[in-house]
Amino acid sequence: MAAQQRMDQIRNLVDQWEQLVGFTVEVPGWMIFEMADQQTAAGYVTTLYDVGRYMSAHTAPGPYNLVWMDAAFQPWAWYGMSAVEYHTKVESLNDTYLRLTGQNIPDDTLQAVLGQHQGSMTGAQLQTYLLSQANIKNTYGWLKYGLDFQQFQQQKQQMITQFGRELTDAEAVTQLQFLHAAQGPNVSAAVNPTLTQVEKKTAQTGINASVVR
């Protein structure tokens, strides 16, 4: 690409990016030249997402950085999104995390996944990502058995009926582990509602012996 074409490309992207933040900050010429001329760790700046990541790395007090007072209140700009796009994306990702875990997505996790696929990660992609993380499945043990949070609560209620007392999530996950080992991988479809007294005693022993999440 010719030098002038490259400069025009970056100026056009910067114009769009400044619009995303309501023109609350003006990107100086030296930054435009730098984005046009230099290759970042992720490659050359070619998208609004790239501009957002560049600005994220160059917004702080200091002689070579931009002081952008509204930066903390316009997080969508870090990802080259509009405010509407950002809030829609966050809502979708949070809905997926909440459905799987029963918890709102932590901010550090949100910031990490927003950067996946240049900010375009979908709820379905987030689910695939979460289910590949051993620490997530260890924290929310029902995910190991193909259950989301609501499905787990339904099975937990069946267990409470069987055992005649409240069970903690950890105890219920232990019971899932016990039933999974005893009945095979299809146990997640339904908890056996007709355990014999011997089976109940054996299952209760499994719960008392070890709580595994």
Phi/psi at 166 (5° precision): -70, 145
Measured between alpha carbons, how far is 155 from 172 in angstroms, rounded to an integer? 8
Task: Enter the pTM of the model.
Answer: 0.75
A 10 A CB-CB count for 37 gives 13
185 band by pLDDT with thresholds 50, 70 and 90 = low
Q: Which pair of tokens denotes residue 118? A: 């240049």
| Residues 129-169 pLDDT 10s | 999 999 999 999 999 999 999 999 998 888 888 777 877 88
**pLDDT at position 2, please?**
57
Q: Which pair of tokens denotes residue 12? A: 């056009």
**pLDDT at position 66, please?**
79
47 pairs with which residues across the strands?
Answer: none
